[in-house]
Structure 1
Amino acid sequence: MWTNEYTAVSPLSAQAIWAALKALHEGRLTYEGADTFVLHGPFAKGSRVSVTPVGQDTFEATIVDVVDNVTYADETSFGDTKLLFRHTLVPVADGTQVTHRLEISGSSAAEVGPELGPQISGDFDTSMARLFEQARELANLD
């Protein structure tokens, strides 16, 4: 397995960040640099999501974990290689700690992970900063 994660703290509440994260993955929110999502069904475990990264082809993911205000995860399979993306929100004294984690697993993960993983997760810091900006705007905290 290959993994990478990025963690940051926002002064916003978990509920405010969750609202933006959910809106993004439901396809109701988009912003510069964000993947485009089309949700097929409810925002719940087992639903499919079409994901179109900027400048790339669309692929299908399946929501594998959802706990409101706590965690969201979806998984995509390319042959025997699986990509699991997870956002975890934890309230802390000065706001909310958010971790965005990528796990690449499968028989080819040792070969694919070191090359593909950094390409996918290299913008997690920028992506999270933009998510926080959107959460602030949605919460009208300008």
Structure 2
Amino acid sequence: MADLSISVHDAEPAARISTPTELERVIRLASEEARARKMLNIIILEAANGNHLSFVVGGDDTVLSFTYGHRNPPYYASRGAQASTHPIMTCYVGLVHHTEFAREYVISFERGLTAVQEFAESGALPQSMEWMET
């Protein structure tokens, strides 16, 4: 697994992880905290190459977004099964910053977790799921 940093809370330093066990632990703890607070949290994973993957935790569904390290387009979001915008999925980056996602980006947590694990291995755009350019 590539070295990653994971940001779970706003205004706190990112955690450095280097094993699948550490990744699983951080995601599990972030999910439990989000559920306890009754809100969805967006955590951000950064690979050594600068690529970012954001991941919604705390529910049965998730949204992922991917940004290349150069921060220029293209930008990607997970492609959900629904083509509609409603109901909106409301989340909070770092449990603070309000963000909303249309239903067209929502996928199952399990599918999202598979993509996160792939990102952790490669640091590249996961190929295990469909993406929409945003």
TM-score by length of 1: 0.31
TM-score by length of 2: 0.33
The structure with the largest alpha-carbon Rg is: 1
Structure number with the bigger relative contact order (C-alpha 8 A, sep ≥ 6) is 1
- The structure with more strand, counted as a fraction of residues: 1
